[in-house]
């Protein structure tokens, strides 16, 4: 089966052109996918707005009403980072619905993997608060749909955005049905995501945070995936894998400094593909989050798309190349982080 792409021109209507999270981001992705042939290979999946009943299982009705009023009254700002336009409420409903459409497509065997090219992003959105460019928490709502409307019992969410997905963590902190794994730059916005944040109650041990100082690059991320994500995910046995895919950890991104390359992203995506092949074949969903350099964003999505077709990550199209800064590897710091995360989750020291 081919891959599927969730997309709507309506996602371009939520737009503040001078803001980092603008409609040009999505146009850049579509341009690369078209140029490289991926668009025409794909099944296009039409999104529909999320139902109010599912939306308010996560987001408080008072917040949903606030966002609707802000949008219909002409827009404004939820905080210093997060804008609302007259179209934003309806577009945000369609973004959350797009993530759900992607989940349904893989569960119904329409596609071999689904990439939800949606915006506004969502992983910072908390039940009562939009923040960090995010309005509704698309990936968390998609996970709830898989659990509560499609009958699944174990969902893996991997968040490789450079910022910690605090809203997603909040949604499932004491749940236990979701294994949430996050790599993120630290210290950095929003300030959450410490190794010791591991969940509570039924969710104890199901929240996995790997906070990384700047500059760890491809090799550091690869080690974190191999030594922390994989053993925990193998034990968890996911029935579907959702990827909160920010591409702002790329070395060229203007808002961060993690020094990943496109081929580094391809290797992480390939790891998720192989994991899915062992536990939940053809149940991979990408939900777009951040990424603020147009080329890194477009080619990062393309690398994920190709890796989920089974392509060798070493062959990923990478016009930007490796990080030119070539910061000295801090092996001791990486060792401390890896061992602290392994210890926090009961993995034996290497």
User: Is residue 120 reached through a cis peptide bond, with omega within 30 degrees of 0 on the bond before it?
Assistant: yes
Q: Which residue has the tokens 């790891």?
A: 271
210, β-bridge pairs = 183
Q: Decide if 287 contacts 138 (C-beta within 8 A).
A: yes
Respond yes or no: is residue 184 known to be catalytic: no
Cα separations (Å) of 87 from 70, 72, 82, 124, 293? 10, 8, 14, 20, 24
Q: Which residue has the tokens 């060229």?
A: 252
Task: Report helix, strand or coil for 338.
Answer: helix
Alpha-carbon Rg for the chain, nearest whole angstrom, is 18
Please count the residues of the chain: 350
List the alpha helices (DSSP H) in the chain: 24-35, 38-41, 52-58, 61-72, 88-107, 138-148, 166-172, 217-224, 230-236, 262-279, 294-307, 331-344
Q: Which residue has the tokens 């909160």?
A: 244
What values do phi and psi take at 67, rounded to 5?
-65, -40
**Contacts (Cβ under 8 Å, ≥6 apart) of 68:** 89
Q: Which residue has the tokens 């969903």?
A: 285
Q: Which residue has the tokens 């798309």?
A: 305
Q: Which member of 123, 124, 145, 345 is catalytic?
A: 124
DSSP for 129-187, please give it: B-BTTBSS-HHHHHHHHHHHTS----EEEEE-SSS--HHHHHHHTTTSSEEEEEEEESS
Q: Decide if 3 contacts 286 (C-beta within 8 A).
A: no
Q: Which of 7, 4, 28 is nearest to 250 (CA)?
A: 28
Q: Would you name the residues annotated as active-site residues?
A: 124
């Amino acid at each position: 089966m081919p891959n599927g792409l969730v997309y709507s021109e309506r996602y371009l209507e939520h737009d503040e052109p001078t803001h980092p999270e603008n409609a040009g981001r999505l146009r850049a992705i579509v341009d690369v996918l078209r140029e490289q042939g991926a668009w025409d290979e794909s099944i296009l999946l039409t999104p529909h707005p999320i139902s109010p009943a599912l939306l308010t299982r996560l987001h408080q009705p008072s917040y949903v009403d606030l966002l609707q009023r802000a949008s219909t009254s002409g827009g404004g700002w939820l905080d210093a980072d997060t804008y609302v336009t007259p179209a934003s409420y309806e577009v945000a409903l369609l973004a959350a619905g797009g993530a759900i459409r992607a989940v349904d497509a893989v569960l119904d065997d329409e596609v071999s993997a689904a990439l939800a090219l949606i915006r506004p992003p969502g992983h910072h959105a908390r039940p009562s608060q939009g923040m960090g460019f995010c309005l509704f928490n698309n990936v968390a709502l998609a996970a709830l749909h898989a659990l509560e409307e499609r009958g699944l019992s174990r969902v893996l969410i991997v968040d490789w955005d450079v910022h910690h997905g605090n809203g997603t963590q909040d949604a499932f902190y004491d749940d236990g049905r979701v294994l949430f794994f996050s790599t993120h730059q630290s210290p950095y916005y929003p300030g959450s995501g410490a190794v010791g944040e591991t969940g509570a109650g039924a969710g104890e041990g199901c929240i996995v945070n790997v906070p990384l100082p700047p500059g760890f690059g491809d090799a550091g991320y690869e080690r974190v995936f191999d030594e922390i994500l994989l053993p925990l995910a193998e034990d968890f046995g996911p029935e579907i894998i959702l990827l909160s895919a920010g591409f702002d950890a790329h070395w060229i991104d203007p808002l961060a400094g993690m020094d990943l390359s496109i081929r580094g992203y391809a290797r992480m995506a390939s790891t998720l593909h192989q994991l899915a092949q062992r536990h939940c074949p053809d149940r991979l969903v990408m939900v777009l989050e951040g990424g603020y350099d147009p080329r890194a964003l477009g080619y990062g999505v393309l690398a994920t798309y190709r890796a989920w077709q089974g392509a060798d990550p070493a062959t990923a199209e990478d016009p930007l190349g490796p990080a030119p800064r070539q910061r000295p590897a801090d092996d001791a710091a990486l060792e401390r982080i890896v061992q602290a995360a392994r210890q926090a989750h009961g993995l034996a020291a290497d």
